[in-house]
Amino acid sequence: MNAITEPARRAPSRGRARHVARVARLHARDVIRRPRARERADTPAFAWSVTPEWLTAVLCDGSAASVARWRYEPVSRGSTCRGRYHLEYEGDADAQLPPTVFVKSTSTFRTRLQVGSLGAIRAESRYYRDIRPIVNVLSPLGYFGASDRKTGRAILLMEDITRTRGVTFGDNRSVHVDRAMASTLVDNLANLHGPLLESPRFAGDLRWVISSMDLQRHLNALVDFEHRTQVGLDRASDLVPAALMARRRDLHAYVMASFALDASRPTGLVHTDVHANNWFVTADRQMGLLDWAALARGQGPRDLAYALMSNLTLDDRRNWERDLVEQYADTVAAISGRPAKPDEVWTCYRQQTLHGLYFWLYTLGRGMFQPSMQADEVSRINIARMAQAVVDLDTLSSLSP
């Protein structure tokens, strides 16, 4: 095996350095001035810097009710700041308005840099507005979203499903996805991918949906994805099979080659970031999807591979994946009306395993300006599962000419 050396630290590009400096300057200005959001057109600087007037405008539109009192409860931080608004209304006793609303925001410098300036929350709010009504996907309701790429300010208000549905959130450390649950996961993905497969709407009203390749190129440039994944490989070197570590310098080219296949394959709507923590489980053991910030246009088997590798243990994936891929192929064909041969879908599945691994190597290899998006333990479980899947499925050979 080749010697593994620490990747050389590279100075940020001028464009990336200017971007960091601009977001830092504008965040510091908001910290000093503490602006308050009062009108619907305002994008709040922080989740806690809203007013009853703003909350009324974004939540009570169409009713005679108004927000009389509110309280913000911080919940957690990762790629975004997550919390909950507790709301009291007046003026219309019959209005069906939520007593609590879940909030995702970019209230810190790092979350503005990582998420806000990418426009990710804008894409997520458009999912709730434009996509959710036309796909049969189990996901929360979305109430309002706003973002400003220049400042990195962003906020999303959505259904507080812990209160409305009593769900359990996915976690690869504690939630075991059994065979029946895995089947609902596959159906949910097929219901997302099938309706818009090769849809002409991507050239019309849905032209805002970015391609998977363009999304990855944007990430490569803005957050230095290639270098951070090499750092992640060093930090997870005890988890990655030796055969894969020996090819570490080739992985970026293989990842980009897997995205390039989109140009010659049927593409549709994809979630992109379907790891275990972005799923939830209902009381009747149905699996639903959260976090639509990386919505894109690409190959469905990429989502399928990522979801099964993250949610299933190694043994369960090995035992069930061929049957689950066939279930997926059959369901997508039935929904889309396009034939899908299971063997061809299986080949696509094998070719798309690097995407999930690459995301989690990047997560573990984050730099000083990037938020701690997930606990290292979660990253390490994902990397171990995904790296072994890349080897099990001989992904590199499947991508070779």
Could you write out the DSSP letters of every residue in 291-332? --TT-EEE-HHHHHHHHHHHHS-HHHHHHHHHHHHHHHHHHH
Domain boundaries in the chain? 14-161, 167-399
| pLDDT for res 2 | 32
**401 pLDDT more than 90:** no
Name residue, tokens 């939520």: 98
* pLDDT tens readout for residues 53-74: 999 999 998 788 999 999 999 9
| Residue 272 DSSP symbol | S
pLDDT grade for 327, boundaries at 50, 70 and 90? very high
**10 pLDDT more than 50:** no
User: In sequence order, which ranges of 34-140 are alpha helices (DSSP H)?
Assistant: 52-59, 109-114, 120-126
Determine the topology of domain 167-399 in CATH. Answer: Aminoglycoside 3'-phosphotransferase; Chain: A, domain 2 (3.90.1200)
Higher pLDDT, 165 or 18: 165
pLDDT grade for 119, boundaries at 50, 70 and 90? low
For the chain, the residue count is 401
**390 pLDDT more than 50:** yes
* pLDDT tens readout for residues 239-288: 999 999 999 999 999 999 999 999 999 999 999 999 999 999 999 999 99
d(CA 233, CA 321): 26
* pLDDT tens readout for residues 38-47: 999 999 999 9
Q: At what angle do helices 376-392 and 300-311 cross, to 10 degrees?
A: 120
Q: Do 156 and 290 contact (CB within 8 A), yes or no?
A: no
Determine the topology of domain 14-161 in CATH. Answer: Phosphorylase Kinase; domain 1 (3.30.200)
Query: What mean pLDDT do residues 234-239 have?
Result: 96
pLDDT grade for 369, boundaries at 50, 70 and 90? low
pLDDT grade for 7, boundaries at 50, 70 and 90? very low
Beta bridge partners of 146: 155
pTM of the shown model: 0.88
Give the rounded percent of residues in the chain with a pLDDT score beyond 70. 93
| pLDDT for res 43 | 93
Pairing of strands 279-281, 268-270: unpaired
Rg (CA), the chain: 21
d(CA 313, CA 381): 9
Scored b (16 or more CB within 10 A) or e, 307-341 reads bbbbbbeeebbeebbeebbbbbbebbbebbeeebe
